[in-house]
A and B are shown apart, each in its own frame.
Chain A
Amino acid sequence: MQRIGVFVCHCGSNIAATVDVEKVVEIIRQEPGVVHAEDYQYMCSEVGQAKIADAIHEKGLTGIVVCSCSPRMHETTFRKAAERAGLNPYMVEIANIREHCSWIHKDVEEATKKAVILARAAIAKVNLNAPLKPGESRVTKRALIIGGGIAGIQTALDIADAGYEVDIVEKTPSIGGRMSQLDKTFPTLDCSACILTPKMVEASAHEKITIYTYSEVEKVTGFVGDFTVDIRKKARSVDMDKCTGCGVCQEKCPSKKAPSEFNRGLSNRSAIYTPFAQAIPNVPVIDREHCLKFQKGKCGVCAKVCQAGAIDYEQKDEIVTEKYGAIVVATGFDVIKLDNYDEYAYSQSKDVITSLELERIMNAAGPTKGHLERLSDGKAPREMVFIQCVGSRCADDRGKSYCSKICCMYTAKHAMLIRDKYPDVNVTVFYIDVRTPGKNFDEFYRRAVEDFGVNYIKGQVGKVAPQPNGRLLVQASDLLDNRQIKMEADMVVLAAAIEPNPDVRKIATMLTASIDTNNFLTEAHAKLRPVESPTAGVFLSGVCQGPKDIPETVAQAGAAAVKAIGLLAKDKLLTNPCTAHSDELLCNGCSTCANVCPYGAITYEVRQVNDHGIREDRRLAVVNEALCQGCGACTVACPSGAMDLKGFSNRQILAEVDAICQ
């Protein structure tokens, strides 16, 4: 029998307002095995923790039950307190009487009763607890960054600068991401390429950074500190070592009808291509779907013109397997498809474009060489309309429920740039709310209005109707003047909602990292652990976690790097001691457990056992404690009941069931 101490927390009034804590103590004191019970204002405070230590010393406690908030909050706190007082930390159990009791019930009597039952269940469990000792696992001092946009680049640089090896895996032929597609950045209006390119160069030149472009993560196994990752390097058809990046192949390539991803399909590129001039690495890839050599079997122009002999049509995909201690997800975003918003005529008119397309049009390296012109006829627009919140803040399944956060600012930027460069062009912005929290953000927006004469109208647009004269009739609300507006425009720009890169689902599944209904990766704690995934060793950088602009992305990228460095700096990690173990007298070596184990932690060996005096060689399951993550799948699968889980044993759970059903 354990000597158990029960500590009931008031949590200020969070618990005490609904649960009669004194009464709980009074009742629990009578429970068999309980030799000490008390309540205190804040058990997690230093004083509270000292009370636990004192009781351990004075009453010789062997088991502790803390009735407090969720174990996800303070289990570690109380375990450490017990450990400092000389008790095995795994002799502590938490009864969650806040989240699961006081916060959801109003009736004091009812909540008190439930708190007592929850405490009893924890007591029943702790009675059967045994001291556990965590094992150790090694930490591979190398980090993987998935995604080579500004988030991934910044995280990689920060980790590499701390002295650790970093690999970046980027799906497209070049790093750079969305930021490389932008023309200018708010609120300073500096050119995006001018601030991004040096970072790209720095990353590629960094001796600690290896960049895998045109590559994808294919498989992830292992766990924190010791991930094993397969990376598929897609066949580039160009030898990276031989290519000098002279660009002749791209010039001579006869197939020039492939839509340029970089220019959002607004211009075409050759079949052998680098996405943009400053691409890193400056080595082209052959897009086999558009290459005449691959499609028709004849051509081979690029091989003929390549002085370096770098073209290799026979190249095959290659799988690289690498070990990592930490993984950072930085998969970024895309803008939503506008199929659900045909009232804005995006698919009917070339002059209705998204803001990202406008970035390309405004960019000197873009499809119009930086001239603002209509894509339908190349004419300069006189009247431009911007529509905000297209697909953001929607309650139906047509769009996204969230605010995309960056649109208000980039629209102000676009409006301002256009008014600056083309003062003859009238710019009207239809908005629902202008949201500009951020340093110098509102001032920026006000400048657009006050200094640049951008016409902001509060009201959404209902329909954009292409007119026979080639212009676009915009029908909108002016809510402040309470009138309906019908105005002709030459171009309409839609601030389409952003969404996480669709690939993130696949990656999250590989990493067993959780994801929310909008496909954003979930944080370990929304406020206190915002750059960590609940899955240990996985960190979040950039828009994959939620909409954010460039400075926020860079800040978060740095934070993710620090968290990863904190992990890589350790030589050993303590492993979860709640692992499975097999009773050798019950195990019949049937392999059922090994078949359900997701970690390959169970192997078999033939060993002599002494079964009540009979010695014989038997095939037995053996659990590798470093690999076992403690899910318990094997314990239920085992037909002979030999497998059990430390910390969540059959007897412990049954004892909890009994206590609850009593």
Chain B
Amino acid sequence: MKFRGIAAFLLILVPFGFASVVAKAEDTVKIGLIEPFSGPIAAVGRDTLEGFEYYADYVNARGGVLGGRQIEIVPLDNAMNAEKTTQQLRKAIDDGIRFVSQGVGSNHALNIIKFLGKHNRRNPDESILFLNHSAVTTSFTNELCSFWHVRFDANVDMKVAALATQIGRDPSVSKLYMLNQNYAYGQAFQSAAQQFLGERAPNVELVGDELIVPFGKVLDFTPYIAKIKASGADTVLTGNWGPDLVRFVKAAAASGLQTPFYTIYGGLPSSIAGFGGKDGVAVGIKQITEMHENDANFNGTPEFEEMNNGWTEYSGKSMYSERLGWVVLMFAMAVDKAGTDDPAAVAAAFEGLTYEGPGGAVTIRAEDHQAHFPMVISTMSDQVERPFLYNNESFGVGWQTDAWVTADELTLPTTCDMKRP
């Protein structure tokens, strides 16, 4: 019981030098991408990074921004740990990065928003702008809205509203069963669905509304399938993702349940790989996205086709979140519009900025920095022109358009009271 072992303290601290490596002064505009590149869902982080790098290359090959400066993507690993996100944010600040992007895990996004709220107030000269590409918690553009945050994905309320709109239009839906994960996101999905179904699908009866313990704790979904059968539901609506979606779909397929599943995350590569294309088609998985490869709109414009083919060639993957492109392309537009890489000016330039995507105009609403764009609801099918490709392997299934929901239909009021510097 001596305390002398602490002498080792010093030895261990020597390599600390690594931590304070000073960033090289290069004339690039850097976007720090804070995502999980290790840990349980590193694949998602890596796919995101690949997307960012591809579109940055695309912009750079066409002359970059501000008359010749290149966009550089700096990966910062948060290992799916919210605290580490904060740490990496500090590292980004140390390294002189003024723009960060993140999207996987809304708890991480929340940390960034809160952190920047304090940091940008305390250090206005080192302000940072957050480009949120996929974190969908509605409050980020409502009560938590910030001038330093721009969201490119539709929030939960918008997505649920879009699904409710389509469910209301779909004559085959009369009895709906809802199953969600019992945590902040799942509960938000549930209450949004209760609201929007009432408004937009008044003729649909909600015959079941369940919550489950999230994150792979439920192993056997058969009892839920039996309840769905017993309720007489003809359609299922679920916000589930990960194993909670995979096992749900597998159990439905194994029990011969043939009620379509309206989902948000049914089209993620990990979802399709998890339940397999065959089960997905058997059940009738539907998803809501900003675009998919088999839509008629998508293949009309040579520019988009070129961009997309280049992506598939580059990554061996089908396009499944086109908005990663918007983030980079619109960022370039905003920087050029602002004429500077000062975050405050770029943030201001984003307000009202419009980009003409293949599905229609993408506009950043000035009041809350929320992107608005049309969304498409599609069904999984094995009879498609372009089956889904992931790492050069085809899943043998792809998506077919059911219907589009316009940007106007998705526009919801905001409670945002934005404080501009």
Does B bind A? no
Where the two chains meet, the residues of A that have a C-beta atom closer than 8 Å to any C-beta of B are: none
Where the two chains meet, the residues of B that have a C-beta atom closer than 8 Å to any C-beta of A are: none
